[in-house]
């Protein structure tokens, strides 16, 4: 038997079968394990120097903000639209949506793509920290002194000052529906 570094490469058919088996294995939908009862799986991100969290069941993916196209006739909290692999998505700037201090855009900005049914929208984050589990007892009602964000959009806040947002309330906010039409020119 030849030494390991001198073994013959597999033939074309063997290589093709191996690669097809790997492709099938990778293409299978992975099992998403639910957080244990009494726990929320949270995507943690930074926005205006504060830590926020969203339930991962509403998060489709995190996408780097490379470029966006501003939209005329939209509210100031609509950053614009982006193209994510051929899909056009609206991006919301939560800092403006919640009237938080503006940090400005940087090369590190991320778009968290939220999904609820057929509705998909991106929200701008200054940075994404990762995913973690938070016990439901840890999420307490927000204090009345919390500025900028209406309690309607919050699930609560943890002892570590992680503000847990309610993505369903954000996605169903009537301000996200733009019904403004530009008047056609009269001749």
Q: What is the spatial distance between Cα 33 and Cα 91, in angstroms, rounded to a whole number?
A: 28
Strands of 163-165's sheet in order across: 127-135, 39-47, 50-55, 163-165, 154-157
Tokens linked to 34? 């639910």
Local confidence pLDDT in tens for the 187 residues of the chain: 455 555 566 788 878 888 777 777 776 655 444 445 688 899 999 987 889 999 999 999 999 998 899 988 888 899 999 999 999 999 999 888 888 777 655 556 899 999 988 889 999 998 899 999 998 888 888 777 666 677 888 899 998 889 999 999 988 888 876 555 666 777 6
Helix/strand/coil for 78:
strand
Domains of the chain: 39-174 (2.40.50.180)
pTM here is: 0.70
């Amino acid at each position: 038997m030849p030494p390991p570094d001198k073994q013959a490469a597999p033939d074309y058919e063997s290589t093709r079968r191996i690669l097809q088996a790997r492709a099938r294995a990778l293409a299978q939908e992975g099992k998403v394990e639910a957080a244990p009862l009494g726990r929320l799986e949270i995507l943690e991100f930074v926005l205006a120097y504060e830590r926020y969290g969203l339930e991962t069941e509403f998060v489709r993916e995190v996408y780097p903000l490379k470029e966006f196209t501003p939209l005329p006739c939209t509210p100031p909290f609509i950053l614009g639209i982006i193209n994510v692999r051929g899909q056009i998505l609206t991006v919301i700037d939560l800092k403006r949506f919640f009237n938080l201090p503006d940090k400005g855009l940087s090369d590190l900005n991320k778009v968290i793509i939220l999904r609820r049914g057929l509705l998909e929208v991106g929200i701008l984050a200054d940075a994404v920290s990762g995913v973690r589990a938070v016990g439901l007892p840890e999420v307490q009602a927000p204090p009345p002194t919390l500025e900028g964000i209406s309690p309607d959009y919050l699930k609560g806040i943890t002892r570590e000052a992680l503000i847990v947002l309610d993505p369903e309330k954000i996605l169903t906010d009537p301000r996200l529906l733009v019904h403004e039409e530009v008047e056609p020119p009269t001749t």
